[in-house]
Amino acid sequence: MQELFTKNTKVIFYNEHPVPIQAMLDYDWICAKSEPCVSAIINPKKSGFHKTFFGPKEILIPVFKTLEEAVRYDPKADVLINFASVRSSFESTKVALEAPNIRTVVLVAEGIPENQTRELIRLAKENKKWIIGPSTVGAIKAGAIRVGYSGGSSENIIESKLYQPGSVGVVTVSGGMSNEVYSIVNNNTDGVNEGVAIGGDTYPGSTLLENVMRLHDNPEIKMLVVLGEIGGTDEYEIADAIKSGKINKPVVAWVSGTVAELFPTEVQFGHAGARSGSRKVSAVAKNKALKDAGAYIPKSFNQFGYLIKKVFDDEVRKKKDYIPPTQVTPQIPALDFESAIRDGLIRRRTSIVSGISDDRGDKLTYNGVDIDKIVDKPLSYTINALWFENRLDETGMDFLELCLKLTADHGPAVVTAHNAITTARAGKDLVSSVVSGLLTIGPRHGGAINDAAKWQFECITNQIDSADFVKEMNSKGELIMGIGHRIKSIQNPDERVQLIKKFAKKNLKQTEHLEFALEVENETTKKKNNLILNVDGAIGAVFLDILKSNKYEDEEILELIEMELFNAIFLLGRTIGIIGHVLDQKRMKEPLYRHPWDDILYK
Amino acid sequence: MAQKAIREYYGKKLIFQYLPEFLTSFSQGYKGVEIDSKQLNQINKLPNFKYGYVAKPDELFGKRGKNNLVFINTDQKKVLNWIKSKSSVKTVIKQNEKELSGSLRRFILEPFIPHDEEYYLAIKTERLVDKLYFSTSGGVEVEDNWEKVTGIDIPFSLDNSPIHSYVSNTIGKLIKDKQESTLLADFVSAIYQVFKLLDFSYLEINPFVINDGEIHLLDFVARMDNTAVYKNRKLYEVIGEPEFAPPFGSEMPESETKIIEMDESSGASLKYKLINPDGKIWLLTSGGGGSVIFADTVGDLGYHSEIANYTDYSGNPNTDETQEFCEIIFSDMFKSNRKDKVLIVGGGIANFTDIAKTFTGVARAIEKHHKQFNQQKIRIFVRRGGPNYKRGLEFMKSMAEKYNIEITVHGPEMYMTEVVRLALET
């Protein structure tokens, strides 16, 4: 029989899984192959190229949407490594079994319905193809190719000398145990020639015996090691083949699952096929049948390694025609940047520092607080965690909440809303429309909180008298930020400012900034009755009082003013309203706005 | 993730639902009633059946006739009293040469059907064929009369199996009466098609009978492939989400129930079975294949009675899951008064599982309960290989040392199950 895997085997990999693909290419590199074994990748969702490493060099492997295209690209590829999900494994394998070039499908998914697997087996028989799996970890042909994760980490490949062919063929049911057995074989013989895990399903695509015979027919293999499992009767087929002489090389075997005898009821172990039932499928009975047929069976798994050594020495090494395998030096693949960092072998300067949230762990955290602890609190709690290094108290958070509500919207006529509306009506997208509204926030609209806070803070710190301050500003001809309203006046006060004042009175012991701002208002309204403390001025003053009551140092407050944190409150609040206006316009499908001529004075 | 037993009530409901699609003359509708003995006092009236009632437990075991667990009567009161009496005591049954004991909770109540001949039908799947077993001498003695059972191999094919010709040929030879043999062959073919449609993996109807020219199914045992549930959800709608109950006689401690629930809701595989609460060796092993071998080895080295539990965690459980899983097992371990308890944290050389990651969950669980480890002087033996195993081992070691817990750690340089011998002998 033509071997399934050789040094020249080319494979097509189904599903763009970077880790196993890299693992296979690393193995090629360890074995000093001149080119990688994966010639194409199938990704039903995209085509193009996949970036990966071959040794130290980055290479591109073509990605196709269908097997048909991949096969056309490399007609020599005859193995499909199928890493499809359980739900798409059946269809993708079926297509491969019907593709003329593909001889072998390695099926990794666990949990494929049994009838689907049986249909695949029927198709494989009909088309004279091989299936390895389902639920397999793959196979490894020492020095030639590894299929999927078989053989484990590069470190393990090297420790278990899986890069150079020995004289032992290994067939296991379990994928997890395959690596362990390769290590045992390496420690006790001249090494693994080929190893395959057939997978723990009730109906494996190719059976223990089929794989044992496949390896048996390879003249390089002098001895076979088999690890079976409770459940099913496949091990009896091996016993029969030994008895009939079909197998004439020594077989060392162990069937696991003797512990099942201790369970009162039928037991289902981790592998689907590993289910106790009648005596016939028990580990004890199968071990006995193999032993009676002439296989070497240890008393327990603990003596498996010892027995493998003994049989190898007696039946292989001592034979006159025995030639020990040539020792090969593995080529160590370059260290992965991530693992080198992880293991502390190299260091690198970071480009970004972040202090407020962390998404690396199991749970996202905002300033050290788990997201699930934040979700049942009011929104201001989240703002507090993400904006403030020194967290505000409950009053501070309540004030933020109040400000967001007060500043959320102020009707369609204000410039934020107006700009957003005209942009939305020009057919622009949501983000553009919202941003065009936000861009109007500045010294004349909404952006005055920060500047108001600045003078309020400076006057209090330097103990400046309100009347002097107003006089000085007047003489400089400067406007006082946070003072003045287009429409509202001392007789017709702004309801929002009243609410802010009420909040401060109710919740704060010290309100020096607010009091000062009101003194200033007292001065300015003497001149004109609409020069009142407006929303911007009121928010700035009360927020300063809140920072003070939260024991903020003066330098910290100055820093917050520098960073424009006071304006951020308006910015966030108003975004809610702007989004509302944009959605409103889109909902009504309002057409392009054109300003009427009669509303323009032409010079 | 495998073949699982399904209750007779649900199995029959499915069969009755889908059989007419392949056998138009079958239009009975299922008349059986499911009775939960815990809700017996809420039942005031049973449906009226022409010839009376048959009551029997529906607890995933067969041979109820042989175990004296079938009750036939026309009196509703007597039937309910029988169920009450059977559910209030422990029941011991014999199965596969083993005695199983447990409480009967679920019962099934069906119309009694008078009959003469009892027929037998079983279907099971094999790799390449579906095996049908048919006999005209069904009933409780069928296994003693196995020579009267005819086997038919149907080559498996997902879409078209030549079922009818196979069946009618065989049955035609067995039964000379043309009408009867046609009736039976049609029935068997239809059952086979339902079997395949619903991804049954085993089914036994023993017996089924003919009354008034109609076929009636009396006792029914079945297993289903639960990996097929996702694609058959629509078909299973008549019974809701299929329930795969554990086998009778495996009354579980709370810890096992909890882990089954975890396993069902997780993408990883989490298995736990408490074997001997007073055992010395507590296993915390991973890998579907490796875990079995660790447990085997304790027994194979001659210490069957010392195996406290069987455990398997694999398929990349996340840190939180692993920690919770460990803590549930520890809760059982801490209950025992033994003075020489040993915890084996074992596994083979993993292919792709990140050992450093999985051991974080294990170490957190140990850390959380380090007081009990200290008080009960529980020793820990670790053996594991695979990606990042060195960091994982180092992590476990430093954690145990921090709390003065006795620990021995080994990587792949030590033979896998040698850790079991070490734990047993020191």
Q: Which residues 67-96 in chain A show a CB within 8 A of chain B? A: 86-87
C-alpha separations of B106 from A93, A580, B71, B113, B206 in Å:
42, 58, 14, 22, 20
Question: Structurally, how many domains does chain A consist of?
Answer: 1
**For position A520, which CATH number holds?**
1.10.230.10
HSE-CB for B388 with a 13 A CA cutoff:
18
Are B158 and A116 in contact (CB < 8 Å)? yes
**Would you say residue A480 lies in a domain?**
yes
Query: What's at A371, amino acid-wise?
Result: I
Question: Which chain A residue is nearest to residue B292, measuring alpha carbons?
Answer: A257
Contact between B44 and B80 (Cβ < 8 Å)? no
Q: Is A585 on the interface with B (CB under 8 A)?
A: no
Q: What is the pLDDT of residues A502-537, one digit of tens each?
A: 999 999 999 999 999 999 999 999 989 999 999 999
pLDDT grade for B389, boundaries at 50, 70 and 90: very high
**Would you say residue A172 lies in a domain?**
no
3-state secondary structure of A494: coil
Q: What is the pLDDT of residues A144-159, one digit of tens each?
A: 999 999 999 999 999 9
- Neighbouring-strand partners of residue A358: A365
Q: What is the pLDDT of residues A98-113, one digit of tens each?
A: 999 999 999 999 999 9
Q: Which residues 26-65 in chain B show a CB within 8 A of chain A? A: none
Contact between A304 and A252 (Cβ < 8 Å)? yes
C-alpha separations of A260 from A281, A284, B275, B310 in Å:
11, 10, 10, 10
Q: What is the pLDDT of residues B223-260, one digit of tens each?
A: 999 999 999 999 998 888 888 888 888 778 999 999 99
Predicted pLDDT at B1: 58
Q: Which residues 272-311 in chain B show a CB within 8 A of chain A? A: 273, 275, 286-293, 295-301, 304, 307, 310
Closest CA to A211 of A253, A180, A244, A176: A253
C-alpha separations of A115 from A112, B124, B127, B227 in Å:
8, 12, 9, 10
Closest CA to B382 of B300, B290, B285: B285
pLDDT grade for B271, boundaries at 50, 70 and 90: very high
A263: chain B residues, CB-CB within 8 Å: 273, 275, 310
Structure tokens at A546: 């809140």
Q: Give the whole-angstrom CA distance, residue A61 versus residue A77.
A: 14
3-state secondary structure of B271: strand
Contact between A41 and A17 (Cβ < 8 Å)? no
Environment class of B173 (CB within 10 Å of its CB; exposed 0-12, middle 13-18, buried 19+): exposed
Q: Give the whole-angstrom CA distance, residue A156 versus residue A167.
A: 19
B391: chain A residues, CB-CB within 8 Å: 343
Q: Is the pLDDT of residue A217 over 90?
A: yes
CB crowding B309-323: b at 16 or more within 10 Å, else e: bbbbbbbbbebebbb
Q: What is the pLDDT of residues B324-370, one digit of tens each?
A: 999 999 999 999 999 999 999 999 999 988 899 899 999 999 999 99
Structure tokens at B236: 């299973």
Are B96 and A278 in contact (CB < 8 Å)? yes
Mutate to test the interface with B, among A188, A208, A259 (most CBs of B within 10 A): A259
Domain assignment of residue A545, given as a range = 391-588
C-alpha separations of B399 from A122, B139, B394, B409, B413 in Å:
53, 62, 9, 12, 22
Span B88-96, mean pLDDT? Answer: 84
Environment class of A564 (CB within 10 Å of its CB; exposed 0-12, middle 13-18, buried 19+): middle
Q: Is A379 on the interface with B (CB under 8 A)?
A: no
Q: Is A277 on the interface with B (CB under 8 A)?
A: yes
Q: How far is CA B240 from the centre of its chain?
A: 19
**Would you say residue A470 lies in a domain?**
yes
C-alpha separations of B325 from B164, B263, B272, B322 in Å:
50, 10, 9, 5
Q: What is the pLDDT of residues A420-453, one digit of tens each?
A: 999 999 999 999 999 999 999 988 888 889 999 9
Q: What is the pLDDT of residues A390-424, one digit of tens each?
A: 999 999 999 999 999 999 999 999 999 999 999 99
For residue B368, which phi and psi values (nearest 5 degrees)?
A: -60, -30
Structure tokens at A99: 């593709």
Q: What is the pLDDT of residues A341-353, one digit of tens each?
A: 877 888 888 899 9
**Would you say residue A325 lies in a domain?**
no
Are A114 and B227 in contact (CB < 8 Å)? yes
Q: Is A259 on the interface with B (CB under 8 A)?
A: yes
Q: Which of A180, A268, A273 sits opposite B290 (nearest CB)?
A: A180
Q: What is the pLDDT of residues B394-426, one digit of tens each?
A: 999 999 999 999 999 999 999 999 999 999 987
Structure tokens at A129: 């193809």
Q: Is the pLDDT of residue A1 over 70?
A: no
Contact between B199 and B235 (Cβ < 8 Å)? no
Q: Is B228 on the interface with A (CB under 8 A)?
A: yes
Active-site annotation holds for A410: no
Catalytically annotated residue among A271, A485, A513, A581: A271
Closest CA to A90 of A123, A63, A66, A64: A123
User: Between these two residues, B241 and B186, which has the higher pLDDT value?
Assistant: B186
Q: Is the pLDDT of residue B180 over 70?
A: yes
Rounded to the nearest integer, the mean pLDDT of chain A is: 94
Predicted pLDDT at B406: 95
Q: Is B197 on the interface with A (CB under 8 A)?
A: no
**Would you say residue A140 lies in a domain?**
no
Q: Which of A115, A257, A266 sits opposite B292 (nearest CB)?
A: A257
Predicted pLDDT at B26: 92
Rounded to the nearest integer, the mean pLDDT of chain B is: 92
A299: chain B residues, CB-CB within 8 Å: 300
